[in-house]
Structure 1
Amino acid sequence: MPIIDVNQDPANRTLTMTAHFDAPVERIWALYADPRQLEKVWGPPEYPATFPKHELTPGGTSHYYMTSPEGEKFAGFWNVTAVDENKQFSFDDGFALNADDFAPNPDLPVSKNTYRFTPDGDGTRAEYISVYASDEALAQVLEMGMVEGATTAINQIDEFLKND
């Protein structure tokens, strides 16, 4: 399994997940840069993702939604703040009210994220770091199942790459 560590740090309002993939950094980067590939692994398998907009560039925006088995759409957005190709990217990740206009949901937290990729033998070590504005915001997403959902999503990547 790709996820090798999950660290919840309420004192610093941080959730850090670490993974190892059996693919080089460039291949992992390509997956995150291409919305059609990212759709295959963003979110749990029973909630497939759609990225109608994906701009992995500083100042870029991504819009996505995950569709439940019942057809309900859960929307979100990224506001990309920094990109260092094949190394890391940073973005603000928030929940949207709907998948029509992707307006931010003011009742749910926005996190500041950095996804970092480093060579590790023949594979890649990935660190997914999310920082929340308050410990209450972190507690809210943890209660919503953020760790379980993200773990399920990230653990799909090796299998996707094998079948690619």
Structure 2
Amino acid sequence: MSKLDNPANRTLTLERTFDAPLALVWEAWTNPKHIANWWGPKGMQTKVLEHDFKEGGSWKYAMTMPDGNEFIAEGTYKEIVAQERIISSADFKPMTEGVEIQAIFKADGDKTLFTFHCVHETEEYCKQQEQMGFYNGWGSVFDRLGEFVQSA
């Protein structure tokens, strides 16, 4: 595999430890009633339009920004291993398209170790997304998830 083909050069990663048991974090991630409470950066409202949680199933969320502009987040589940990982295609139109997101969950006593990878088609696109604020945006999403599971 050449350096250019290496997914590590096209992947942005965030890690979190949630102060909640794995079953609760998994439920927050996979239950559409809960997703609307945390999905999206702070200040955004999310409406779950579609959530067919199975391999090959689709998901689609409408996200409204504080200024009233709306964008669509959608994808198709590629792999689901209960309480372990979710791999999905993802488009966040109009900002990001054609990525794969990988959510990896691991129990650590009464806490959950969480790793999130976003794999881009090219290294150049990956760098562009990082500069556009990947870490701030997704970091805010996972801060909201952490607050949600702690209040559950």
TM-score by length of 2: 0.88
Paired with 1:90 and 1:49, the residues of 2 have a C-alpha distance of 21
Partner residue of 2:150? 162
Paired with 2:71 and 2:60, the residues of 1 have a C-alpha distance of 11
Q: Return the offset for 1:65.
A: 1.9
Unaligned runs of 5+ in 2: 1-5
2:77 equivalent among 76, 80, 96: 80
Paired with 2:131 and 2:7, the residues of 1 have a C-alpha distance of 13
Q: Return the offset for 1:81.
A: 0.3
Are 1:82 and 1:89, in contact at CA under 8 Å, matched by a contact in 2?
A: yes
Work out which structure has the larger RCO, using CA pairs closer than 8 Å and 6 or more positions apart in sequence. 2
Are 1:10 and 1:138, in contact at CA under 8 Å, matched by a contact in 2?
A: no
Q: Residue 155 of structure 1 aligns to a residue in which SS? A: helix
Are 2:7 and 2:119, in contact at CA under 8 Å, matched by a contact in 1?
A: no
Deviation sequence 1:2-55 (CA, Å, 0-9, x none):
xxxxxxx99621111111011111111101111121111111121121111112
2:89 equivalent among 87, 92, 107: 92
Paired with 1:77 and 1:56, the residues of 2 have a C-alpha distance of 13
Partner residue of 2:105? 117
Partner residue of 1:135? 123
1:151 equivalent among 126, 139, 144: 139
Q: 1:108 to 1:45 in 2, by over 3 A?
A: closer
Q: Which one has a larger percent helix, Structure 1 or Structure 2?
A: 2
Deviation sequence 1:80-104 (CA, Å, 0-9, x none):
001111111100111336xxxxxxx
Alpha-carbon RMSD:
1.9
TM-score by length of 1: 0.82
Task: Find out whether 1:53 has 2:65 as its counterpart.
Answer: no
Unaligned runs of 5+ in 1: 1-8, 98-106
Q: 1:10 to 1:79 in 2, by over 3 A?
A: closer
1:26 equivalent among 17, 23, 26: 23
